[in-house]
């Protein structure tokens, strides 16, 4: 069983309007850890999610979305606080351009008191990521849970920097270092690495995360594929897959979910065991999954059958 924790929001995709100074908005459920939970569920896993969920019009849709997609929301805490909103446009290269509204919103207000007193013993993998790991009080609550989970579970972490939410890069560096010390699997994008450490090469970032205790580190390279590193000294690069890109929303989350699914399916989602993974097989599976998401608008993550069919097409 997988537990994902943190961001849950509404992505509002902007489009042209009949008003020359206006925009139209097309809303979809999103949030990096929630996307990972969605991907894990669609790949056939028991997936749980932990956050605060609003009773507002957006939060009710998030709750319905989780139910319809087989995501167990039993750890979630209901609140009247507003739902976080992310307005998304597209840059010239079709990559996402974000504006976030996070002030006193539900998923940014998780407290230590919201955490379960004990974790279900069937939960073997706990995933954290993105702005919920730096915005207080949620950051402290999730850091507390991460330390507790790392004692006997496989912790996964994706920094997924959102500088427009929290512009203090030093704070991001502090949180990345702290969570890397309890995570068995760290995934970051090359853009994350550049923001955290300008001029630092991805392999140096990976070696530092491994020195902090990670078994595996992956660095995604957009259309260039991905790098994967193991604590036993192995490293590989898997090339990207060419698709007609609708947008890149959810691609990194898909990669994360696919890696976690692959490790679980191989019986390697255990601290100390993941370093034995077939890096090329894992990364290729994840790259294919992410490419499929890029071919769809929004974070429409693929099923396991979709990924398998795509890999053989």
> In DSSP terms, which residues pair with 84 in a beta bridge?
9
Q: What is the DSSP letter of 38?
A: H
* Contacts of 307 by beta carbon, 8 Å cutoff, 6+ apart: 43, 258, 285, 288, 289, 292
* Residue closest to 96 by CA, chosen among 20, 202, 33, 12: 12
Give pLDDT, residue 313: 78
* Residue closest to 300 by CA, chosen among 241, 254, 245, 252: 254
Give pLDDT, residue 309: 92
CA distance linking residue 222 with residue 217, whole number of Å:
16
> CA separation (Å) from 161 to 134, 157, 172?
9, 12, 8
Query: Sign of the CA dihedral 155, 160, 164, 169?
Result: positive
Give pLDDT, residue 297: 82
- pLDDT in tens for each of the 313 residues of the chain? 999 999 999 989 888 889 988 989 999 999 999 999 999 999 999 999 999 999 999 999 999 999 999 999 999 999 999 999 989 887 777 776 778 899 999 999 999 999 999 999 999 999 999 999 999 999 999 999 999 999 999 999 999 999 999 999 999 999 999 999 999 999 999 999 999 999 989 999 999 999 999 999 999 999 999 999 999 999 999 999 999 888 888 899 999 999 999 999 999 999 999 999 999 999 999 999 999 999 988 788 999 999 999 888 7
User: Is 2 in contact with 37 (CB distance < 8 Å)?
Assistant: yes
* Residue closest to 7 by CA, chosen among 111, 95, 133, 97: 133
The position carrying tokens 């902007």 is: 14
Write out the two tokens for 295: 């071919």
Task: Please give the model's pTM, rounded to 2 decimal places.
Answer: 0.94
Residues 267-305: b if buried by 16+ CB within 10 A, e if exposed = ebbbbeebbbbbbeebbbbbbbbbbbbbebebbbbbebe
Domains and CATH numbers, the chain: 32-49+112-311 (3.40.1190.20)
3-state class (DSSP) for residue 310: helix
Give pLDDT, residue 11: 86
Give pLDDT, residue 91: 78
């Amino acid at each position: 069983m997988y537990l994902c924790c943190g961001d849950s929001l509404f992505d509002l995709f902007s489009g042209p309007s009949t008003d020359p100074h206006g925009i139209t908005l097309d809303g979809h459920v999103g949030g990096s850890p929630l996307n990972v939970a969605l991907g894990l569920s669609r790949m056939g896993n028991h997936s749980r999610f932990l956050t605060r969920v609003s009773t507002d019009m957006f939060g009710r849709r998030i709750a319905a979305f989780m139910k319809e997609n087989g995501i167990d929301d039993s750890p979630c805490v209901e609140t009247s606080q507003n739902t976080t909103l992310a307005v998304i446009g597209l840059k010239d290269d079709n990559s996402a351009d974000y504006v976030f509204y996070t002030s006193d919103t539900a998923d940014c207000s998780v407290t230590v008191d919201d955490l379960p007193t004990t974790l279900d013993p069937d939960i073997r993998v706990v995933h954290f990521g993105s702005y919920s790991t730096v915005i207080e009080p949620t950051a402290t609550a999730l850091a507390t849970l991460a330390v507790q989970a790392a004692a006997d579970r496989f912790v996964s972490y994706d920094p997924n920097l959102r500088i427009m939410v929290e512009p203090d890069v030093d704070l991001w560096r502090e949180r990345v270092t702290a969570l890397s010390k309890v995570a068995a699997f760290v995934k970051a994008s090359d853009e994350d690495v550049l923001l955290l450490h300008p001029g630092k090469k991805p392999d140096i970032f990976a070696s530092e995360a491994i020195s902090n205790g990670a078994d595996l580190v992956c660095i995604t390279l957009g259309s260039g594929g991905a790098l994967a590193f193991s604590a036993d000294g192995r490293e590989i690069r898997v090339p990207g897959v060419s698709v007609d890109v609708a947008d890149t929303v959810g691609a990194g989350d898909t990669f994360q979910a696919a890696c976690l699914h692959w490790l679980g399916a191989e019986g390697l989602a255990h601290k100390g065991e993941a370093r034995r993974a077939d890096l090329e097989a894992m990364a290729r599976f994840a790259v294919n999954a992410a490419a499929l998401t890029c071919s769809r608008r929004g974070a429409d993550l693929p099923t396991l059958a979709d990924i398998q069919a795509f890999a053989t097409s």
